[in-house]
């Protein structure tokens, strides 16, 4: 592994074509570790260095590029009615289910970023296919319907806040490959203004519904922050002001209201004045969201030179690791109680990807060489926790839920999880578009 010093970002991973490599496997701690050796290349072939910082990460990136993306491009795209299928069955055939706006946005993102991982399939065509399906989701006010039937008719007129976040997120990443990028900017600006005008909360953030409904939730705001950062990065500096403002307001809401000053944990549910609700049937503290919020607040903190956000973000990641990972199974699980003891020990796929992202970020922004080394070990552990989810009879599919006793539930693979897998792959490969720097933008108020 190439050596780096604290504060220096580790090099991006370049995965060489399969024809240029020989793969072999051996058991390791009950798992199968994929090892790669270079074959002799013919004269004139590329000699670009191929960096493999860890075997598990390389195997995951290869699976994403060579198994998952080809399968979901072939089977997950609805060429008859438009858009994308919600799930694929165990044999790779699509499940006949209503289509949610969030999945449309997530799949647009996935295929917008697929070429950066080395996938050579028809990414631009698939992205524009997804964009062509978007008008059916849009309401007259500029927000998106929650879901449509397979023929494109609304099944639920409510504009779910979570879905707006992912439509915006997908559109930001589609901008470089969209057939009509100006149209994409207009749709996104209209949606952002509609959120401010129709869903703005009198204290901060956004209402869940119109008219307002309870509980208020942290999770949609997390993804709106992610979408705002994506737009602020995608646009020229002079055009990104409204998106930077949106990100700043959400980040401050998270620091002021979502992060518990006592435990340091982000809580999920709130009353109408943004006061945390008591623990109920649903976990108030989710380990996966500690990693995810930690990653986002650390990003925003470095972008905006906000030391408090960086400190809060790092504390969230440490909390997720120490309280939210089951050592026996090696996975991040579902929920914690107010005492930070486990309440939901089932482990979905997505928290494993958020754990990877958070520790890659820590590795790339360590405070010491020892911390970098610790982060590298956590990355290896997090990737090892993820890999069993990817071992299915049909390569490219994945398991979504692991029970407390270590068994995977037999169910269709949700398209929505491909977004989580891609975000983790981008962090590992170093292909995520670079964030703004403080010098590129005005300081937050």
CA distance 251 to 108: 25
Q: What is the pLDDT of residue 152?
A: 86
Q: What is the pLDDT of residue 22?
A: 29
Give tens-digit pLDDT for 371-410. 999 999 999 999 999 999 999 999 999 999 999 999 999 9
Pairing assessment for the beta strands 147-148 and 347-348 based on DSSP bridges: unpaired
Q: What is the pLDDT of residue 440?
A: 56
Q: What is the pLDDT of residue 210?
A: 83
Closest among 24, 1, 27 to 13, alpha carbons compared: 1
CA distance 444 to 433: 22
Do 144 and 191 meet the contact criterion of CB atoms below 8 Å apart?
Answer: yes
- Joined tokens for residue 230: 């994506």
User: What pTM was computed for the model?
Assistant: 0.87
Interior CA angle at 296 toward 294 and 302, to 5°?
Answer: 100
Exposure of 318 by Cβ count < 10 A (0-12 exposed, 13-18 middle, 19+ buried)? middle
Q: Residue 317 contacts by C-beta under 8 Å, 6 or more apart in sequence?
A: 290, 291, 294, 295, 298, 358, 359, 361, 362
Classified as helix, coil or strand, 119 is coil
CA distance 113 to 293: 22
* 7 or 335, greater pLDDT: 335
Q: Residue 81 contacts by C-beta under 8 Å, 6 or more apart in sequence?
A: 150, 151, 152
- The pairs formed by 247-251 with CB atoms below 8 angstroms and a separation of 24 or more are 247/300, 248/304, 248/444, 248/445, 249/204, 249/205, 250/205, 250/221, 250/224, 250/225, 251/225, 251/296, 251/297, 251/300, 251/304, 251/306, 251/309
Which residue bears the tokens 């008008």?
Answer: 135
Q: What is the pLDDT of residue 356?
A: 98
Q: Give strand pairing partners of 216.
A: 270
Whether 35 has a pLDDT exceeding 90, the answer reads no
Give tens-digit pLDDT for 186-233. 999 999 999 999 999 999 999 998 889 999 999 999 999 999 999 999
Q: What is the pLDDT of residue 280?
A: 84
**Chain-centre distance for alpha carbon 173:** 13
CA distance 312 to 359: 15
Q: Give strand pairing partners of 25.
A: 34
Q: What is the pLDDT of residue 155?
A: 92
Closest among 254, 361, 356 to 306, alpha carbons compared: 254
Whether 345 has a pLDDT exceeding 80, the answer reads yes
Q: Residue 300 contacts by C-beta under 8 Å, 6 or more apart in sequence?
A: 225, 229, 247, 251, 306, 309
20-38 CB burial, b ≥16 within 10 A, e <16 = beeeeeeeeeebebbebee
- Joined tokens for residue 135: 């008008």
């Amino acid at each position: 592994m190439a050596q780096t010093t604290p504060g220096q970002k580790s090099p991006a991973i370049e995965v060489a074509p399969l024809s240029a490599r020989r793969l072999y496997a051996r058991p390791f701690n009950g798992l199968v570790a994929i090892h790669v050796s270079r074959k002799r290349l013919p004269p004139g072939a590329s000699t670009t260095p191929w960096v493999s910082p860890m075997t598990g990460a390389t195997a995951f990136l290869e699976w994403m590029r060579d198994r998952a993306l080809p399968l979901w491009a072939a089977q997950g795209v609805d060429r008859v009615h438009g858009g994308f299928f919600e799930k694929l069955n165990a044999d790779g055939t699509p499940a006949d289910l209503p289509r949610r706006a969030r999945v449309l946005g997530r799949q647009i993102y996935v295929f917008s970023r697929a070429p950066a991982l080395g996938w050579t399939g028809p990414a631009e065509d698939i992205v524009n296919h997804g964009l062509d399906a978007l008008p059916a989701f849009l309401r007259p006010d500029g927000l998106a319907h929650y879901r449509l039937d397979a023929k494109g008719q609304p099944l639920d007129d409510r504009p779910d806040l979570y879905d707006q976040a992912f439509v915006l997120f997908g559109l930001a990443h589609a901008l470089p490959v969209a057939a009509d990028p100006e149209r994409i900017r207009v749709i996104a600006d209209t949606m952002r203004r509609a959120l401010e005008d129709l869903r703005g909360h009198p204290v901060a953030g956004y209402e869940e519904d119109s008219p307002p409904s309870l509980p208020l939730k942290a999770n949609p705001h997390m993804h709106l922050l992610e979408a705002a950062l994506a737009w602020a990065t995608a646009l020229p500096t002079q055009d990104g002001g409204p998106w930077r403002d949106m990100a700043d307001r959400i980040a401050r809401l998270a620091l002021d209201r979502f992060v518990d000053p006592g435990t340091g944990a982000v809580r999920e549910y709130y009353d109408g004045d943004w006061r945390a609700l008591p623990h109920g049937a649903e976990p108030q503290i989710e380990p996966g969201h500690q990693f995810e919020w930690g990653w986002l607040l650390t990003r925003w903190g470095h972008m905006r030179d906000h030391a408090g956000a960086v400190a809060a973000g790092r504390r969230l990641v440490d909390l997720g690791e120490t309280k939210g990972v089951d050592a026996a199974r090696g996975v991040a699980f579902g929920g914690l109680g107010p005492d930070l003891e486990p309440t939901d020990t089932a482990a979905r796929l997505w928290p494993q990807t958020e754990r990877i992202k958070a520790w890659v970020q820590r590795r790339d922004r360590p405070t010491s060489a020892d911390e970098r080394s610790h982060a590298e070990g956590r990355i290896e552990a997090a990737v090892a926790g993820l890999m069993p989810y990817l071992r299915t009879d049909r390569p490219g599919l994945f398991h979504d839920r692991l029970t407390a006793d270590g068994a995977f539930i037999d169910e269709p693979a949700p398209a929505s999880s491909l977004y989580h897998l891609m975000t983790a792959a981008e962090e590992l490969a170093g292909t995520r578009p670079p964030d703004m720097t403080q010098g590129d933008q005005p300081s937050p108020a």
